[in-house]
Structure 1
Amino acid sequence: MNWTDEELIAGCKRKSAKYEEVFYKKYYGYVMGISLSYSKDRSLADEIVNDSFMKFFGSVHKVEDFQSVKSWLRRITVNTAIDYFRKQRKYQNQTDISEEREVGHEVHALNDLAFQDIVNLINQLQDDHKMVFNLYEIEGYSHKEIADKLGLSESSSRVYLTRAKTHLRQLVSKHLNEYEGR
């Protein structure tokens, strides 16, 4: 059966397992795609997906605008990924980083890369750099918002983004050189 989001939400508000299952299946790929962009391994992404849906179903009674279901689910998923990042960071020794200059050159070769190539290259970034890169470049957060969410200073957020971009440029260049050498 093809239910609208409005029907699915109404069923989820009644805590109907059938409606929750259909909603889960409908949006699983969407939520998994977001989760994979914030985690390096599939098992962590699975945890983020499941926790995101649990949070969504736990707060579904607040949903009123059915046009914003997808954006609300995205926000929950990104915040869940941030929560996992913070948990992992607790066990790492993180120190504040001084400001660095941004590298001026750019690789203009993204048109030559397939989407999966780009995802694979981003996944090679250090976890904290990847998190800042995604939050800034994909989600559109400011450095202040990132710093608040991740418990960093704004300058650390800027440095992590600079390092992520620098490393990504190197990875893209290396990837393209390997591709041309085939």
Structure 2
Amino acid sequence: MLFRRSRSLALPEILDGCRHQKPAAQKQLFEAYYSFGVNICLRYADSREEAEEMFDDGFLRVLNKIAYYDPEQPFDAWFRTVMVHSAIDHYRRYKVKQVFTDIDELYDVGESDNLLDRLAADEILAVVQQLPPAYRTVFSLYVVDGYSHPEIAQMLGIHEGTSRSNLAKARQKLQELLMTWTSNNAVNRRNYV
């Protein structure tokens, strides 16, 4: 996991303060969830700066929608969902003209030789960020966040077959990038074998 919060965080009190729009509570929530939120947004962003912008938008949405949070449910899951939706909204707003590959152009993708097992999470994230935005978005929504192709198609305004095709293309491109990345960084990285 890329993110760990202190177990001593008094989350119920902080959330109550946020519901009452107390700046101190909002600041505590921001500081406690900044890394978590930015790491979620990094999966959808071209750069750390763009991820931070997505996080800022998402955090404002969290503060504006905190009254809708059900305290009986895990806050982390609700927060993560808000961040993913914020990243998707950012994508729609700024990357509308991205090219999605239709299902007719789909081709078979072979299995990986477990490159992912030998890389650290930050190294994988660095490679995923090199995917074209359309591929990266579908890959992150499906593989990381667990959305189905019909859900992804609805969120992005594309056909379900296009979502499937982009996932296959993302996996193939990711394999190529991982092979190149690992061969280029073999000298500088740790030995994971």
Change (3 A) 1:172 1:95: closer
Aligned to 1:5: 11
Aligned residues: 180
- Gaps of at least 5 residues in structure 1 are none
Aligned to 1:88: 94
| % identical equivalent positions | 27
* Aligned residue among 149, 157, 160 for 1:154: 160
User: More helix by proportion, 1 or 2?
Assistant: 1
Alpha-carbon shift at residue 101 of structure 1 (Å): 2.7
* Aligned residue among 51, 55, 58 for 1:49: 55
User: Are residue 98 (structure 1) and residue 96 (structure 2) matched?
Assistant: no
Classify the secondary structure of the residue corresponding to 1:38.
coil
Distance 1:34 1:93 in 2: 21
Distance 1:10 1:75 in 2: 20
Aligned to 1:111: 117
- TM-score of the pair, normalised by structure 2: 0.86
Query: Is the contact made by 1:6 and 1:66 (CA closer than 8 Å) also made in structure 2?
Result: no
Query: Is the contact made by 1:5 and 1:66 (CA closer than 8 Å) also made in structure 2?
Result: no
User: Are residue 172 (structure 1) and residue 178 (structure 2) matched?
Assistant: yes
Aligned to 2:22: 16
Query: Is the contact made by 2:103 and 2:164 (CA closer than 8 Å) also made in structure 1?
Result: no
Look up the equivalent residue of 2:102 and give its one-letter code.
I
Distance 2:118 2:74 in 1: 34
Aligned to 1:132: 138
- Gaps of at least 5 residues in structure 2 are 1-7, 189-193
Alpha-carbon shift at residue 67 of structure 1 (Å): 4.7
Q: Alignment RMSD, CA only?
A: 1.8
Change (3 A) 1:64 1:112: closer
Distance 1:109 1:38 in 2: 22
Aligned to 1:70: 76
Aligned to 2:3: none
